[in-house]
Chains A and B, each alone.
Chain A
Amino acid sequence: MSAKFTLNGQTHEVTILARRPNLIVSVDGRSHVVRNPASLADGTLDIDGTRIQLALAWSETQPMVRMDGRTLRLTRIDPRAEAAGSSPGQDIIRAPMPGAVITVHLSPGDAVQEGDVIVTIESMKLQTALIAPRDGHVAEVTVAEGETFEKDAVIVRLVPLGQETAA
């Protein structure tokens, strides 16, 4: 019965307390009355008797809400992903933005220390180093120099934690 979002590392939860006669929601335990929530489609909401003008759009899992000349960008926590447990993020390095590979500094089997640069990428004139999130060994670099990739593409895999001795 709730939707969860994060902002600056903090999790916030919106829960439905009642639907009739008016929608009442709790935000982190604070309750608010929302009259005619369908008016959101027209860019307004009546919250606790105050008429709010706003614009809302999603960038993938991130709702961006603009009110009073300021945008808040939240991140929706997908309840299904949350239930499935956390991802093995420490072993996988993903592209923070779409772009092209400038330099591949290391090859499979190479040892890395946390902070080592493994691949240098470029997007919209900005070069960025993809660095090792932990000590370990490189298992795979999925791209070659000059190749392009999309945002969130897996660029580097490290040998999974616990299997380091195999390398």
Chain B
Amino acid sequence: MTQIRKVLIANRGEIAVRIIASLDKLGIASVAVHHPVEATAKHVRMAGQSVALSGATPVAAHLDAAQIIAAAHASGADAIHPGYGFLSENAGFARLVHEEGFIFIGPSAEVIDLMGDKISARTFAEAQGVPVAPSAIPTDDLDAFASAAAKIGFPLVIKAAAGGGGKGMSIVRSPADLQEAARIATSEAQPYFSDGRIYAELYVENPRHIEVQILGDGAGGAIHLWERECSVQRRFQKIIEEAPAANLPASLRDDICSSAVRLAQAANYRNAGTVEYILGQDGRFFFLEMNTRLQVEHPVTEMITGLDLVAIQIAIAEGRGLPMSQDQVPLIGHAIECRICAEDPCANFMPETGTVAVLDIPQAPWLRFENALDQGQKVTADFDPMLAKLIAHGATRDQAVERSIEGLRGLAVLGVGTNIDYLARVLDHQAFRAGDLDTGFVGRYAADLAEPAPDTDRLDRALIAAALGDRDFRTLVADVPEPHASIGHWRN
């Protein structure tokens, strides 16, 4: 067993802030890294120290393994936490971290490699008796691909072998469209992943996205911390997640969770990970992929178990093993996470940029607001549009829904367009309230979820406020020497 004393967080934004919060509680020193454009960012201010990285873009800096290793040496860190995204699922980085004498807070490089390739992951899962959907072997030979894929039947989904996040993914409903879809998929995959191989698998209509949080000790021991449902998605990316899944029969939950544990045990999985599944309307479930890192949506699991996953990750990395046995894992109430994104839900979720001029965060014992936002902060195209996460806990799902809506209504992020009001409309939708979810939710209920026109009272009030906030109009109001002339300048 080793004692970790100083952790470098190879990440930024809300997840870096969240990791530092746990390190502080544990009395472990923290080291942030930053690109010059974010030198005053929240994660930099919170960390005990921060090391500047150079790079043509901020993203390039956070992907620069050599610079991050150098920062770890320079700062005297003994472990590296990769967060999610960036280098978190890069086996080469994990290997380098280990070779340079640091502890990587995550699984072994071999397991990252195994799970990072969808094909090897799938083959491994199948060998452990984890259900996988019928599929075609990946290839970049488009003719061979088309004939193999056609045998699966339609509809089918084409995916990039090295993919993720929906890149190079498309649904094909008829044999006539197969060739063209394959061509587009491989041409999208090649520049993104430097790997043009694609594969096809049976497309499950209107599936639910169910995933299982697992913990492994690296020596064949593993437990699960229940499932999460992440079916509400736009552009193949999750926007609302909850734990546990709504209306999931107990036996089905057991099957899904125990298959995830089986996979983790067989892989000698170490640290926290997530096994993702699609669940068909007929109750059949299929392995989707394994994410070998902390997930964006891990707080819903923390809320229903009362556990701190980052603290557990560190304990496992120190060699202390799993925190408890399976039958000791609590399940308390229900939790929902909403991803607050800078985007316009009325314009196909197009990313928005701007400056956060107003930031008002609701406070309640059952709410968590994970963010790295500052008033006055510029939201640019440099990073992902996710600004923050609002997580609410309730004794029941109904209460968690109510508290989430109340939390969203109390949250103000102004100066940049966000999806806050849209998320509240999703939660308030009767299908969501009923727990009637699948990945087609956003598209199916698009009309119901459109922004309703304001009533006249609300419209007039907003227009009066906007006019009074306009410098030219205010000059007119204050034309005579009155206290009105002292109205501040709110514009920018």
Contact = CB atoms under 8 A, between A and B. Distances in A.
A128 B381 contact: no
Given A8-B453, A124-B381, A56 B466 contact: yes
Interface in A1-23: 1-3, 5, 7-8, 12, 14, 16, 19-20, 23
Nearest to B351: A124
A67 interface: yes
Given A19-B482, A55-B414, A97 B463 contact: no
Contacts of B410: 69
Given A59-B416, A71-B421, A126-B235, A97 B353 contact: yes
Contacts of A56: 358, 414, 465-466, 469, 490
Contacts, number: 170
Interface string B163-198: 001000000000000000000000000000000000
A64 B136 CA distance: 50
Interface in B326-352: 349-352
A124 B476 CA distance: 41
Interface residues of B, number: 59
A34 B311 CA distance: 54
A151 B353 CA distance: 9
Contacts of A20: 480, 482
Contacts of A67: 458, 461-462, 465
A166 interface: no
Interface string A41-79: 100010100001011111110011111111111101001
Nearest to B57: A148
Contact of B412 (A23, A55, A60): A55
A40 interface: yes
A32 interface: yes
Given A63-B466, A98-B381, A71 B420 contact: yes
B487 A41 contact: yes
Contacts of B380: 98
A30 to B, nearest CB: 6
A54 B461 contact: yes
Contacts of B456: 30
Contact of A71 (B383, B385, B414, B459): B414
B27 interface: no
A38 B487 contact: yes
Interface string B126-146: 000000000000000000000
Nearest to B409: A69
Interface in B150-167: 165
Interface residues of A, number: 57
B464 A57 contact: no
B477 A37 contact: yes
B460 A27 contact: yes
A40 B487 contact: yes
Interface in B462-492: 462-470, 472-473, 476-477, 479-480, 482-484, 486-488, 490-492
A25 interface: yes
B466 A5 contact: yes
A41 B488 contact: yes
A92 B260 CA distance: 54
A8 to B, nearest CB: 7
Interface in B411-451: 412, 414-417, 420-421, 424
A45 B465 contact: yes
A69 B358 CA distance: 14
A4 to B, nearest CB: 9
Main secondary structure of the interface of B (DSSP, over half): mixed
Interface in A93-152: 96-99, 123-126, 128, 151
Contacts of B462: 54, 65, 67, 72, 74
Nearest to A54: B465
A60 B354 contact: yes
A23 B485 CA distance: 13
A58 B491 contact: yes
Contacts of A73: 417
B468 A37 contact: yes
B282 interface: no
A40 B465 contact: yes
B357 interface: yes
B467 A14 contact: yes
Nearest to B165: A125
B384 interface: yes
Nearest to A40: B468
B358 A3 contact: no
Contacts of A34: 464, 468
A45 to B, nearest CB: 6
Contact of A76 (B416, B466, B487): B466
Contact of B353 (A55, A63, A68, A98): A98
Contacts of A37: 468, 477, 484, 487
A58 B489 CA distance: 11
B355 interface: yes
B354 to A, nearest CB: 4
A2 B475 CA distance: 11
Nearest to A79: B472
Given A12-B459, A34-B464, A69-B408, A126 B350 contact: yes
16 contacts: A5-B466, A19-B480, A23-B484, A45-B464, A57-B357, A58-B357, A58-B490, A58-B491, A59-B354, A59-B416, A66-B358, A69-B410, A74-B466, A76-B466, A97-B353, A125-B384
Given A55-B358, A59-B354, 18 more contacts: A2-B473, A3-B470, A3-B472, A27-B464, A47-B464, A52-B465, A56-B490, A57-B415, A59-B415, A63-B470, A65-B462, A65-B465, A70-B409, A72-B459, A99-B381, A124-B351, A124-B385, A128-B350
Interface of B: 165, 235, 349-355, 357-358, 360, 380-381, 383-385, 408-410, 412, 414-417, 420-421, 424, 453-454, 456, 458-470, 472-473, 476-477, 479-480, 482-484, 486-488, 490-492
Closest 5 CB pairs of A and B: A69-B409, A57-B357, A57-B414, A63-B466, A14-B467
